[in-house]
Amino acid sequence: MKFIYQDLLNFLNQKPSIESLSEKLFQLGHEHEINDDVFDMEFTPNRGDCLSLNGLARDLNVFFGKAQPFKIFDGNIEQLNLNFKNLSTEACPKISFLEIEIENSVHSYEPYLENYFSLLGNNKVNFFTDVSNYISYELGQPTHCFEADSISKQLVFDYKVCDENFKTLLGSDIHLSGKNCTFSLNGNEIISLAGIMGGVSTACSKNTKRALVECAYFVPEAIIGKTIKYNLTSDAAHKFERGVDIQAQEKVLRRFIEIIKDHATIKTMRFQSFEEGKVERDFIPIDVKKINKILGLELEEEKYLTY
């Protein structure tokens, strides 16, 4: 994954040189190369928490302190009453939706958004999709944007056995087989290979003014292996396979709103969250005596917790 040096600096309290930052990344075990102020990173599969600016800055916090350089929309959002049904809560225990509509014009991209494309070599697609891709880079949570007007029937999520053709938003025709996470209309027409890639029939375009933004947690086991099976390249699947933060959905969608605000006038916005499944959470036990013995320190528990 690639990160812009200046973007990383914005997330840190101290402002180290690119050489110092590189040294600390190697110390943390993050292999990388530097090309024109861009870090090309390699992360081990167990470090999915570092697949974003926010996550990598959290890892660097012990050396440089962590800042929050971005704004999150903190105003009221109307309730969305989406006709949605989750048939497989074990595969998708929590999912949130933001319906957002903008006025006609979109301003030129702000430097932080423009640099994501110009400096990292990413392709622009359309406004809503571009914001979605940037959010994943910044916060590590994939989102998917449907053309809201195309969702005219009940939206259904299911982790089910498939035997049908599906056309991705990139135009690839694939045959779905075995169990897959899917979004469909009325449980029939599959419109998205959930967690991997949306379909062409509900994709946003440059003319889209009203989008339905989906932000979900999919259990890694339901996503792993699908990109290889269908010969697809998917940044979203890469992150879902390694696990994303199930608690971050509202924060991510509120950040989505703020980025939209930077570039367009918002006409309406509505939010709704569905949490119907259970997720086992892991906790690290605190044994300060053991930590002190290993490190040769004499930390008090209160001090230890600040780290």
Q: Residue 278's pLDDT is what?
A: 74
- Do residues 120 and 38 make contact, with C-beta atoms less than 8 angstroms apart? yes
Distance between alpha carbon 102 and the CA centroid of its chain, in Å? 22
264-275 vs 78-79, strand pairing mode: parallel
Residue 273 has pLDDT above 90, yes or no: yes
Per-residue DSSP letter, 91:
T
Residue 28, pLDDT > 90, answer yes
Q: What pLDDT does residue 277 have?
A: 73
- Per the listing, tokens 């949570």 go with 141
pLDDT band at residue 280 under the 50/70/90 scheme: confident
Note the helical H segments in 140-231. 220-223, 226-230
**In the structure, what pLDDT confidence band is assigned to residue 284 with cuts at 50, 70 and 90?**
confident
| Confidence band, pLDDT 50/70/90 cuts, at residue 43 | very high
Looking at residue 289, its pLDDT comes to: 94
Cβ contacts of residue 74 below 8 Å, gap of 6+? 254
- What is the per-residue pLDDT for 240? 98
Interval 95-120 mean pLDDT: 96
- Residue 246 CA to residue 248 CA, distance in Å, equals 6
pLDDT in tens, 167-210: 999 999 999 999 999 999 998 899 999 999 999 999 999 999 99
Mean pLDDT, rounded, of the chain? 95
pLDDT in tens, 152-164: 999 999 999 999 9
pLDDT for position 102:
98
The pLDDT score that the predictor gives to residue 174 is 96
Structure token pair of residue 135: 């959010």
Distance of CA 299 to the CA centre of its chain: 36
Q: What are phi and psi of 36, to 5 degrees?
A: 50, 55
pTM of structure? 0.91
